Amino acid sequence: TQLLEQSPQFLSIQEGENLTVYCNSSSVFSSLQWYRQEPGEGPVLLVTVVTGGEVKKLKRLTFQFGDARKDSSLHITAAQPGDTGLYLCAPLTGSARQLTFGSGTQLTVLP
Amino acid sequence: KAGVTQTPRYLIKTRGQQVTLSCSPISGHRSVSWYQQTPGQGLQFLFEYFSETQRNKGNFPGRFSGRQFSNSRSEMNVSTLELGDSALYLCASSLNPPPSNYGYTFGSGTRLTVV
């Protein structure tokens, strides 16, 4: 059974600060997706990482896939209130017939 | 292009009743997945349909069922509602079913409250 852990569970920071959230598992993934969910809405796909050690940047967001493909991190530089939301990771294995989500990190960026 | 449309957006039902939720995927997407989201359990997988066939089902009782039509629209039904069924029900469509790197597009969900 794949154990998936996201940390921290909650994070509250001031606008302009940097932060990193993590997604860790005991299993090896073939790829991993990050989603952000705002209150009252469905999750929105941010990125898919596929290769171990891969780093992808989307403006102020930097996503990294671990070398062993068991973990991933999301780093936000100079956080803004618009970054507030629930950040979910969803790893994929080659045999998976469903997308399984972590419990998420609830980020609040205060103005 | 139009996104994933879920109806209704909000619903209040009484224990013991049944409910049907609808999902219209993005045009061309043939894979539709359903999730239940609650504060305590997070996003829990219900089932996934591809080309009118249920390919996978999560660990939910038989009161939860679904189907997909030839136009890829999907419905899920919950019978004999319980208080614990109160949740946000999310539908996600994808061009290709898992395992696929294509990614999901989610609807805004149906907020079901059972009283």
| Residue B16 Rama label (left phi>0; alpha psi -120 to 50; beta) | left
Residue B97 has a pLDDT of 81
With a pLDDT cut of 90, the percent of chain A lying above it is: 82
Q: Which residues of A touch B92 (CB under 8 A)?
A: 42, 99
**Residue A23 scores a pLDDT above 80:** yes
pLDDT in tens, chain B (115 residues): 579 999 999 999 999 999 999 999 999 999 999 999 998 889 999 999 999 999 999 999 999 999 999 999 999 999 999 999 999 999 999 988 877 777 899 999 999 999 9
**Residue A111 scores a pLDDT above 60:** yes
Pairing, β B10-13 against β B110-114: parallel
pLDDT tier at A92, thresholds 50, 70, 90: confident
Which of the residue ranges A8-17, A74-83, A89-98, B53-62 would you say has the lowest mean pLDDT?
A89-98
- Among chain B, residues having any CB pair with chain A shorter than 8 Å are 4, 33, 35, 42-43, 45, 48, 55-56, 58, 90, 92, 97-101, 103-109
Taking one residue from A and the other from B, the number of pairs with CB-CB distance under 8 angstroms is: 62
Query: CA distances (Å), B17 to each of A15, B76, B85, B111, B115, in order?
Result: 46, 14, 11, 16, 10
Contact A96 B99 (CB under 8 A): yes
- Average pLDDT over every residue of A84-98: 87
Pairing, β A85-92 against β A4-7: unpaired
Query: For the segment B53-80, what is each residue's pLDDT rounded down to a tens digit?
Result: 999 999 999 999 999 999 999 999 999 9
Of B4, B98, B108, the CB nearest to A99: B98
CB-CB contact of B96 with B32 (8 Å): no
Of A44, A92, A101, the CB nearest to B99: A92
Contact B104 A45 (CB under 8 A): yes
**Residue A26 scores a pLDDT above 60:** yes
